[in-house]
Structure 1
Amino acid sequence: MKIYDWFDGPYPARVRIALAEKGLLSRIEFVPVNLWTGEHKKPAFLAINYSGTLPVLELDDGTLIAECTAITQYLDVLDGNPLLTGRTPAEKGIIHMMTKRAEIEFLDAVSTYFHHATPGLGPDVELYQNREWGERMRDKAVRGMHYFNGVLANRPFVAGNEFSMADIAVLGGMIFASLVKLPVPDECEALRAWHARMLERSSVQEWRAMVERGQGVKTLPITADLK
């Protein structure tokens, strides 16, 4: 299997952490797609994923799966032992609900702030910016932090009593917030405590080690003739 991503991207981090949780990192070839030079918006990559977003999973038969939630769902059930996406119908529903909330209320809001109210990825990529909208999304992200603080004040993990894909989505928000220097409010003590615990988790430490190395486990160049 191959994954097209960029080693320190907040969205790619979600899939890399999921891979570490499932013990699948050694089975993946990472194809670097440089976010900072806008490689994900150029024809070679748009032929792989028309929306120009990372990450993308390519299966051995050439099938392409984009979107973090979809990729994680696929990876989680490969061994018949879903650890991240739920075992029972109720678990699956709650995990997907909380993952979507993490994206809408926090992670995607930080992303919009980054792309619209900061220099983002630079003028070659950020062809349109609306600073007012970006600042509104910054405020929404802070509200999202308060929401998840309330959630985590009453249970150990975002979707209940076990670590799941929803925790990984909130981690993605925390990673992006750190990138844009958007602090977690002091009063969000439960969120801060949860985050400290997550940083000690082995899968998160594996991801951080990859970032420090500045690369994936295996890397391949991207070429224009890739599917």
Structure 2
Amino acid sequence: MKIYDFEGFPNPARVRIALAEKGATDKMQFVHVDVLKGEHRLPGFLAMNPNATVPVLELGDGTTISECTAITEYIDHAFDGISLTGTTAKDRAVIHMMQCRAEQGVMDAVGTYFHHATPGLGALELYQNKEWGLKQRERAIAGMRYFDSVLATQPFAAGQHFSVADITLFVGLNFADFAKIELPADLPHLKAWRARMAQRPSMGG
């Protein structure tokens, strides 16, 4: 199996963390796609993922899977180890819900701010709307506040156990640092959770 990605970028980081949590990093061959040079827009890559985004998972039979949630779903069920997407119907539903909230309310909001409100991105962004980007910065901060309230009553983003929702939220906050969206000072529960997550070996601890 192959993962086409750009190491260090947010979405590839989510997949690499999932692989590390499952102890499956060595089961993958990583293929570098130089997004900064526009390789994600070349015909060969677009044939795998017409959305022109990394990462993309290529299976042994030639099937290609894009979108982090779908790739992580595959990884979670293909390899033994900790469950990242839940084992019961209730857990799977709650994790999926909180994963979406982390993705849309923090990760994607930060990404939209970065891509639309950061000048000089070149091949990374062919169209920018700064006003929209600044609006998404507000949304990202609102998402942080939401998860602070969630983490005031439970240890993980989706409840009592670590899941893909925690991966997405953690990477989203790291992306916010890179995009210079400061974590508000009055979010103690989110900050404490982040410090705990940073100690996990998969997340650099």
Q: TM-score, normalised by structure 1?
A: 0.87
Separation in structure 2 between the aligned mates of residue 34 and residue 85 of structure 1, nearest angstrom: 30
- Cα drift, residue 79 of structure 1: 3.6
Residue in 2 that maps onto 1:65: 65
Number of aligned residue pairs = 205
Which residue number corresponds to residue 110 of structure 2? 110
Task: State the distance in 2 between where 1:37 and 1:123 align.
Answer: 9
Name the structure 1 match of 2:197: 198
Aligned partner of 2:47 in structure 1 is: 47
1:30 alignment partner in structure 2? 30
Partner residue of 2:147? 148
Contact 2:147 / 2:190 at 8 angstroms: preserved in 1? yes
**Whose helix fraction is larger, Structure 1's or Structure 2's?**
2
Write the deviation string for residues 145-204 of structure 1: whole angstroms up to 9, x where unpaired: 000111111100000011000001101211211111211100011111111111110111
Cα shift readout 1:89-114 (whole Å, capped 9, x = no counterpart): 00000000000011111100000001
Question: Are 1:41 and 1:125, in contact at CA under 8 Å, matched by a contact in 2?
Answer: no
Which residue in 2 is equivalent to 1:214?
none
Q: d(CA) in 1 for partners of 2:75 and 2:127? A: 35
Deviation digits for residues 31-62 of structure 1 (CA, Å, limit 9, x no counterpart): 01122222212222112111001111111111
| Alignment deviations for residues 14-34 of structure 1 (CA, whole Å, 9 cap, x no partner) | 000000000000111000112
Is the CA contact 1:113–1:137 (under 8 Å) kept in the aligned structure 2?
yes
Unaligned runs of 5+ in 2: none
Shift of 1:119: 2.3
The aligned counterpart of 1:185 is: 184
Q: Does the 8 Å contact 2:21/2:82 carry over to 1?
A: no
Secondary structure (helix, strand or coil) at the match of 2:31 reads strand
Higher RCO (CA-CA < 8 Å; seq separation 6+) = 1
Unmatched tracts of structure 1, length 5 or more:
207-227
Asked if 1:162 is matched to 2:153, the reply is no
Query: What CA distance in whole angstroms lies between the structure 2 residues aligned with 1:169 and 1:124?
Result: 25
Amino acid at match of 1:38: G
Amino acid corresponding to residue 29 of structure 1 in structure 2: Q
Deviates more, 1:37-46 or 1:170-179: 37-46
Following the alignment from structure 1 to structure 2, what is the Cα–Cα distance between the partners of residues 76 and 82? Answer: 8
Looking at structure 2, the residues matched to 69 and 163 of structure 1 have their Cα atoms a distance apart, in angstroms, of 16
Amino acid at match of 1:78: A
SS of equivalent residue, structure 2 residue 65: strand
Q: What is the rounded CA distance, in whole Å, between the counterparts of 1:105 and 1:74 in structure 2?
A: 24
Note the 1:80-95 alignment, pairs <5 A.
83-95=83-95
Give the superposition deviation at 1:118: 0.6
Secondary structure of 1:156's aligned partner: coil
Task: Say which SS state the counterpart of residue 47 (structure 1) adopts.
Answer: helix
Q: Distance in 2 between matches of 1:155 and 1:202?
A: 22
Query: RMSD value over aligned CA atoms?
Result: 1.3
Could you state the TM-score of these two structures normalised by the residue count of structure 2?
Answer: 0.96
